[in-house]
Structure 1
Amino acid sequence: MLLPVGGYKGYGLSMVVEILCSLLTGMPYGPYIPKMFEAPMNQKRYLGHFVIAMRIDCFQEKAVFMERMSKMMKELRNEPRLDKDIPIQVAGDPEKKSYEERSKNGIPLKSVEYEAFKKLSEKYGIRFE
């Protein structure tokens, strides 16, 4: 069962998620979903998913929305930190950092993976460094 987060507003948001992901999709809700780590791992969980897509331009100009979104993300990242060594992140930040790091330094491989790619490159005559 989803527990309330942040009082009555969090409770309401949790209920919306439960309704859309469970009741609307015909999947079990709350206490009727098998426990993730208590039930056997081969037992189906029957977890429902709900996806929504919206056309931003039906509400406002996309450029205005993107500008406001950027401003909000910047403000969130600049909130006071609980730990000065851990930056506040928003969705996509870790992936962006990883992309930038790997674009600069390459993708790290374990030696067994490296050897497997090396063998494949030799087999198919593909340059591999």
Structure 2
Amino acid sequence: ISCTNTSRTVYPTRSKARTVGTNPITIAAPSSKPGDEFVLDMATSAVALGKLEMCRRRGLPIPEGWGADKNGRSTSEPAVAIEEGALMPLGGEERNSGYKGYGLGMVVELFCGILADAAYGPNIRRWMNTDRAANLGQSFVAIDPNAFAPGFGQRLSEYMNIMRNLPRNQLADRLKVPRVPILKQL
């Protein structure tokens, strides 16, 4: 398990002050079968900041719930969210449980800022501002699954197989599970 706090780019639920970062979290677990490793790599914001930046560069609107304007209202304009507004927390607006993403972002601040004696919340410099060090913190947790019970990797492989083979809805061509993309060998 690893996480890091980041520059403040996210509005907390019911606020219009950038005080939380995208604060990514990664959780990985080994499997007994290659390709069945569990790897979840996610931001605690609705999307990573780079997705807004790509939409801005391409002149595309962003979906509702990704970003907000300076008053905290959802916007479809990536430049507005990046320059004067903020990203929305995971879940988006409060009615869609955005407070859960905001709370998860705060958990990362607890581990990576407060516990690590690094900058946290509004004390972190703004993104792209280089007038001072960012002083970000990271947190790493390693758990030996064999300290609990033998067969963890096999059970994980079985679970990943179950999840990949669930009945699909009419819109899905396949189901996805959190894992590392298969890299093509050159």
Partner of 2:83: none
CA contact (8 A) 1:27 1:48 kept: yes
Aligned-residue offset at 1:70:
1.6
1:49 correspondence with 2:122 = no
Query: What are the within-5 Å matches in structure 2 for residues 14-93 of structure 1?
Result: 14-37=105-128, 39-40=129-130, 43-61=132-150, 63=151, 65-78=152-165, 80=168, 84=172, 88-92=176-180
State the TM-score, normalizing by the size of structure 2.
0.40
Gaps of 5+ in 1: 107-129
Contact 1:33-1:45 within 8 A present in 2 as well: yes
CA distance in structure 2 between the aligned counterparts of 1:20 and 1:90, rounded to whole angstroms: 23
Structure 1 78/86 Cα, relative in aligned 2: closer, same or farther at 3 Å?
A: closer
Q: What is the identity percentage for the equivalent residue pairs of Structure 1 and Structure 2?
A: 32
* Counterpart contact for 1:77–1:90, Cα < 8 Å: no
Higher-Rg structure is 1
- Structure 2 residue identity aligned to 1:16: V
Question: What TM-score, normalized to structure 1?
Answer: 0.54
**C-alpha distance in 2, partners of 1:9/1:75?**
27
CA distance in 2, matches of 1:34, 1:52: 26
Number of equivalenced pairs: 94
**Residue aligned with 2:154, SS:** helix
Deviation at 1:81, TM superposition (A): 7.3
Which runs of no fewer than 5 residues in structure 2 stay unpaired? 1-19, 22-44, 46-88, 92-96
Higher strand share: 2
Q: Is the 8 A contact 1:34 1:45 kept in 2?
A: yes
| 3-state SS in 2 of match to 1:50 | strand
Higher relative contact order (CA 8 A, sep 6+): 2
CA drift at 1:48:
0.2
Could you tell me how far 1:36 is from its partner in structure 2?
Answer: 2.0
